[in-house]
Every structure is written in C-alpha cells, then in structure tokens.
A and B are shown apart, each in its own frame.
Chain A
Amino acid sequence: MNNVHQFDVVVVGAGGAGLMAGLYASRGAKTAVISKLYPTRSHTGAAQGGISAALGNYEEDKPEWHSYDTVKGSDYLGDQDAIEFMCNEAIDAVLELEHMGLPFDRTPQGKISQRPFGGHTNNETGKPVRRAAHAADRTGHMILQTLYQQCLKNKVNFFDEYQVLDFLIVNGKTAGVIAVELATGELHTFHAKSVVFATGGHGRIFEVTSNAYAYTGDGAAVLLRRGIPLEDMEFFQFHPTGIYKLGILITEGVRGEGGILINGLGERFMPKYAPTVKDLASRDVVSRAIYTEIREGRGVNGQNYVYLDVRPESVIKYAAMDGRTNLDGTPYTITGEQVLAKLPDIIDFCRVYLGVDPITQMMPIQPTAHYTMGGIPTNKFGEVVIDENNTVFPGLYAAGECACVSVHGANRLGTNSLLDLVVFGKYAGLKAAEYANQAEFETLPSDVESAARSQFDALRNGSGKENAFDLSTEMKKVMFEEVGIYRSEKGMKAAIQKIQEWKARYQQVKVSDAGRIFNTELLNAWELGNMLDIAEVVAECALNRKESRGGHSREDFPNRDDHNWLKHTLAWKKNGKVEIGYKPVVITKHKPKERVY
C-alpha cells in the first residue's frame, strides 16, 4: 500500500451535497473531498429552475405550507419529521447561499426573486405560490459554482478525478474508502473515521434520461455490496418535460412562467388531470398525463411526444383563461424578451438540439428519467441507518440524491432536490466531523485493496465474448420500457429475468485497454456493474410493491393502498439475492388523504 492517506472525514462526491458536507466538515476536522469528476462537472450544475424556501419575497408563504406541499407531493410516503426539518431550515439555507455570494435573480426591491413551480401552493387558496428562488434557469450551476468557490476559499482538500471503488468496514465501523486515481490508474487507500457519501443518482440505468453519464449509482452500489440496505428504490421520478428522444431537461420553470402542455390535437390537456393547478401539478401526475395522452393516440403526429408551449401569445391567452394576474392584479403577460431573459439555457438547448426557437415554436417533449427518491437510508442528520429500527452505522453518512432521508417519499417536488442537498449536505458534514472528533481510527487490515483490485482484474481478464456497450444499451431500453413510468408484473418479471442474464453476460466482458493512465474503458465497465446491481434492486422493489404511489405506477395495482403499503421498503443484497424488509413512515401532522391537484 503505497498510497495511503489519513483524514478524519472523507467526502465522496463533489456535487452540491458533497461540497456542502466538505465545507462544513473541514471547519471542524481534517477533511478530504474525493470526486470522479472535477467538482464543477457535477450534475448539480444541470439543475435549472430553483431552490425552494418560504422566503415570501413576493407574497405570503410559510414553511408549514412548504412542508404540507412536500408531504402531499411525496404521496404521504415522506417522513414528516424530516420534511418539517428541511422546510424549516430552507429559509436559512437559501439565505446562507446568498451570503456566500450566489447571484440569485432579484425582485424590484432587491430581494431574492422567486417563481411558481409544480406543487408549490398557498395552502389556503390552493393557488400556485412563488417559492422557487432562482438564478435564471441555471440555479444548480450557480449553487455548484458558489459552493466550489467557497471550498477553495476555505482550502478544502480535493482529490479530483479519483473514483471510489470500495467502502472499508473494520469492527463494524467506518474505516475509510479505496479509490483509483484516474490519471495514473493507481489505487489509493483513504483511511478515515467518517465517510460521507454524496455520489448522486443512477438515472443512466434508463434509456431516456436527463442525467449525466456520471450518474451510475456508484455510491449506492458500493455500499450495497458491503451489506448496507437501500431504501425505497422503486421510486424513480420521470420528469414530464425532457427534450424528445434526447431526454435533456426542460425546467418546470417554463410552466412556472406560464408555459402549457399541448397534445397532438392542439388541446391543452392538463386541466383534465389537475383541475386546480393544471400544468403545475406534481411531476408524477404530469408525466402520467402525458403518457396517457400518447397512449390514447393524442401524441403529436402519432409519435411519443407532446408539445410544451411558451410562446408569449399562448402564455398570455391561457393565463387570461386561468385568471392569472401579476401581483398588482393586472393580467399576467410576458414578452419574448422576458422569456429569453428568464430561460436562456432552455432556449439555447432547443435551438441547438432541436433547431426549434421556443419564442416562436412549440417544443417537442416526452417524460425523461430524472431523479431517484430512493437511496442510502439516513436520518435527518445524514447518519446512515441500516435496519427497521433506524440503527446508525458508526461513522457513515450520506446526503443528496444518493441518500433517502426520506423527504421525497414517492415523488419529489421540483426544487426540493437542491434544498435537500444544501440542508442535508451541511448536517452530514457537521455530524461527520463531530463523530470523527470523538472516534479513533480503526486499524486497517493488510489486504485492504484486494476487493477493489479483484473487481478490476475480473474486468481486465474476462473472455471478451460480450460487449459492455451492447449490454448497457439493452439494459437501458428494457428498464425504461418495463420499469419506467407505468409498470406491470409481467413486464417487471421479464426485466428481472433479463437483468440476471445481463449479469451473467457481464462476467464475459473484457476491457481491451490494458493501460493505467485514464483507463476510461475500465471505469465505464465498472460503472456498468454498478448500474446492473442498482437496476436489479429497482426492479425487485418495484415488483414487490403492489400498489401505485407517486412515481411508482402499477397498471395491475392502480390505486394507492395505505392499509398495506404505507411503509418504506428496505432492500439488502444477501447471497446474490435481493432481500426486502420494511420500516414505518413517520407521520406527524398530515394524515394521508386522496391527492388531488
């Protein structure tokens, strides 16, 4: 072991959650942040529309309303104590970002500007409320930049382009991680008292996704292999508006600014599905509505897409029909220039990838795999909890998309992801440092890198009968079709059968690149192994849950079943099989009721 580093706290991942954890942990303990990408490449930077907090900068809003909307959005599967905690922290969290220099857009009074978003409501009137604090349509980019800059200012230790391969457990406690330095191919041992996983999601298991190539579920897969369970993995969010075929995200902020969805007959269809908030219903509701329109033959030109329309004349027309007004009571209007100013990146994406100008043309969109509600189980302090009794694993933390607190339950509200990573990234970092300061380093055994090395060796020495790229392509297609927006027993059983076949075929993959320096082929093949493990858990959990709730829609069980299924799923990997258990949902104020938008 030539490359051994010792840190009190190691943070894995340098997106919003990892940077926040790194920033807070490094104030109290010797901390390293390890990332497979340069931090500014992280997928937090792709988040567009906003970060929610009941700042009330335009109109009355309350953390209690934010909490209720989040509970309702979660289809009552979110833990209400954690949701209340997050929504109460939200105001300070957003203000802290501003104090760190984040360039939010501004109200005429110079305060942080806010826009409406799906499922954000005034609980008294039921009408949309302006809760999403934003920086144009690149709010995530500005959060990522600002947090990275603050980490540089505070001299946080970064290990950029290091891929974490394994999590070390000694005496039932956290002992560190093993990583490969991509530039040299050398393995490194990071001996640590606390480890924070902030490794993001796994949307790349699906064919059409808004997610980055990097989103291969690495952190969750590494921990799963080490006996840590994953929670609520059947719940995956399909964002309603991805660019047709490409899946690139078109922010909900487009509808927040007045955009509407139009089917192939030229009809606005959301009022049929969500009579009150219409196009600003929760994401699962809108995605199913789009899918239903398509399946009933009302896609555009018989194809698998509908239109998103933000042309000023359409926005003005429908805003008048809805009675939407400006704050001074005058009818809501918007100009092409204003659309461009508020949504510059969206306009750019459409022009580049579609050759469509959203100011004068409608955008072809389809639902796109976007966000996992499930992940590594934690409590509201980011501590990883490993069983039905929420037993804390000593020294292990998780935050951001890879974690499941659960604040998103069965369906995440737009803008709560950025809030989640700022709030829980902070607490994970604080708690990790606090733990490290009273814990001792566990003594590492001598063969600490062997598991990681043998994974790489297997990929280098396979028979070469199978092509990793083909396997990956097949997996994404089947997962999107059979474990996607609508699911049935037949389709999911077929998918699980396939996954077992792919896992067997994966053993026959051989990495042709024998080199050490930037062996991206080896890295990608290893990531495929993670995706197969995660896909298996997602499919097994989805097959197991015999109800429809939030992002999990069963055609054979179309209703929510609180009597049998108002509970979290926990999934372990034991002896090559997925084992499933449950834990109760925390309910404080809001008793489950029917969810209508």
Chain B
Amino acid sequence: MQVTLKIFRYNPEVDTTFHYESYVIENAQETDRVLDLLEHVKGYNDGTLSFRRSCAHGVCGSDALRINGRNMLACKALVRDVGEKITIEPLLGLKVVKDLIVDMEPFFDNYKKVLPWFINDSPLPADGRERLQSPEQRARFDDTTKCIMCAACTTSCPSFWASDDYLGPAALVAAHRFVFDSRDEAAAERMEIVSETSGLARCHTAFNCTMACPREIQITKAIGELKMATITGRVE
C-alpha cells in the first residue's frame, strides 16, 4: 500500500521557521510501525530528518511524537491504526530543537522536583533480608511503576501548555509511585511539593494524559488519588 507522511521539519542552523515536507512511501505494510516509515524516509529520502528512537517496541520512551494530532510512540503506532495519510509532529509544549526532537530537559527537571527516589532511612530488617510488603500493598502502586517517561502525557496536557511552572502529569505519576509505596517514608514531603500551586491544583481532569499514555497508566486517577490525599491528609 501507499502511505503519505507529512512531517514537521525545522533545522535551526538553516531555517528561520518550521515547515512541512511530504514523503510518499510505496509498498508500505499495514503492520509497519510509524517508526519504520521514519527510518525509511531517513534512509532513502532525506538523511537529515532527525528524531529519537531506541528500543522500537514501546518500552524505552524515546520516540513519543504527535501522530495525526495525538501523542503516541512512533514504535507502537501501526499504519493499520493511524491510516495511510500520517502527519508527524514534535511533542507540544517543549522547545523544538530540530525536526521531531524537542528539548527534554524541562520535562526531566520537573520529574526531579518530586523526589523521585525511594526514601526509607529506618534500619533494614535485622536479618538483612527484604522489607516485607504484601501483594495488596504492592498492587496499590503497580500502575504508576509502569511509566517510561516518554512525556506523551505531559505534552498532551492543556494546563502544561498554558503554564510555565506546572509539574505535569508524568512528574505527578512519579510522585504517586512513591507516595503509595508502603515501604517509602517521605510521602509527607512529596505531598507538600505536589500541593504547591505548580502541582495538583493545575490538573483540571482533561484526561488527555490518560488518553495519551502508551503504557495505559490511569494517570488522571493517580492524580485524583493524590488530590484526595491532600484533602483527607491520609495516604491510603
């Protein structure tokens, strides 16, 4: 089948502004990944086309892009799902560096603000073994451990687009992963951080993040659980 790609192009060393280029690929398969098509264009049409990719099967988080207006991983979007006319653009809300590559630093900076690391300063079990955690306690935060930090959620969020300082859904997902871990001891500190005006209050439950997540994390629900904890003062 024939597939037409319309790709956002911007080379900061040459261009004053962005433009779109179209590429026609003959003999595409409906099971081709959009990433395969991008590789094809880079290999045979224009070697300068720039994008990030690594694992090519949806676990490394490198290739989140706007495909036909929706945030997806290029390696998890198949032609049969997105159709024969495909518009590919960089994520919104982060500065475009070149073509489909955006500046991820602000995204990771927000992540780092929520203390996204395990904190437990109590002595280890005397036998040196694992801290115990019931399967139910473990299940409590399972969903938010799946995050691959691709930024598809944060860059789909209207509040993130509109504000300079919103932590964004991905950082809140990271906070949730630790706040609801029964072994972690820094829930109060993290709740203080996410309760600032740059945090939970900026979520207006648009659900864009949940729709965009390639890992199918129930992000809006996770944020809701954090909000509930600020109201009740309890993490449960």
* A106 and B133 contact, CB distance less than 8 A: yes
* B48 and A105 contact, CB distance less than 8 A: no
The stretch from A145-153, A539-547, A583-591 touching chain B is A145-153
> For the complex, is B18 an interface residue (Cβ under 8 Å from A)?
no
* B57 and A46 contact, CB distance less than 8 A: yes
* B60 and A142 contact, CB distance less than 8 A: no
The stretch from B123-131, B155-163, B193-201, B219-227 touching chain A is B123-131
* A41 and B42 contact, CB distance less than 8 A: no
For the complex, count residues of B whose C-beta is within 8 A of A.
Answer: 61
> For the complex, is A99 an interface residue (Cβ under 8 Å from B)?
yes
* Contact residues in B for A109 (Cβ distance below 8 Å): 132
Residue of A106, A352, A470, A516 touching B76 (CB-CB under 8 A): A352
Using a CB-CB cutoff of 8 Å, which residues 56-110 of chain B contact chain A?
A: 56-62, 76, 78, 97-99, 101, 104, 108
Using a CB-CB cutoff of 8 Å, which residues 33-55 of chain A contact chain B?
A: 37-38, 40-43, 45-46
| Contact pattern, B 136-158, Cβ under 8 Å of A = 1, otherwise 0 | 01100110011011000000000
Question: Looking across the interface, which residue of chain B has its beta carbon closest to that of A473?
Answer: B43
* B129 and A95 contact, CB distance less than 8 A: yes
> For the complex, is A388 an interface residue (Cβ under 8 Å from B)?
no
* B76 and A212 contact, CB distance less than 8 A: no
* B55 and A149 contact, CB distance less than 8 A: no
With contact pairs A41-B61, A183-B97, A515-B13 given, residues A149 and B116 touching in the complex (Cβ less than 8 Å): yes
> For the complex, is A239 an interface residue (Cβ under 8 Å from B)?
no
Residue of A152, A248, A520 touching B117 (CB-CB under 8 A): A152
Residue of B48, B78, B119, B134 touching A513 (CB-CB under 8 A): B48
Residue of B48, B58, B145 touching A512 (CB-CB under 8 A): B48
* A517 and B12 contact, CB distance less than 8 A: yes
* A42 and B60 contact, CB distance less than 8 A: yes
Taking the closest CB of chain A, its distance from the CB of B8, in whole angstroms, is 14
Given the complex of chains A and B, what is the CA–CA distance between A41 and B104 in angstroms? 13
Using a CB-CB cutoff of 8 Å, which residues 130-148 of chain A contact chain B?
A: 135-136, 138, 141-142, 145-146
Residue of A45, A103, A111 touching B132 (CB-CB under 8 A): A111
* B60 and A43 contact, CB distance less than 8 A: yes
* Contact residues in B for A373 (Cβ distance below 8 Å): none
With contact pairs A40-B149, A98-B130, A150-B117 given, residues A513 and B47 touching in the complex (Cβ less than 8 Å): yes
> For the complex, is A100 an interface residue (Cβ under 8 Å from B)?
yes
Question: Looking across the interface, which residue of chain A has its beta carbon closest to that of B108?
Answer: A38
> For the complex, is B51 an interface residue (Cβ under 8 Å from A)?
yes
Taking the closest CB of chain B, its distance from the CB of A215, in whole angstroms, is 9
* A138 and B135 contact, CB distance less than 8 A: no
Most buried by B among A43, A99, A142: A99
* A512 and B47 contact, CB distance less than 8 A: yes
* Contact residues in B for A513 (Cβ distance below 8 Å): 47-48, 50
Residues of chain A having any CB pair with chain B under 8 Å:
37-38, 40-43, 45-46, 92, 95, 98-101, 103-112, 135-136, 138, 141-142, 145-146, 149-150, 152-153, 183, 212-214, 246, 248, 345, 348-349, 352-353, 467-470, 511-513, 515-521
A-B contact pairs, 18 of them (CB 8 A): A37-B62, A43-B60, A45-B55, A45-B60, A45-B148, A46-B60, A98-B130, A106-B135, A110-B134, A110-B135, A138-B145, A150-B118, A152-B116, A348-B216, A513-B47, A515-B11, A521-B48, A521-B50
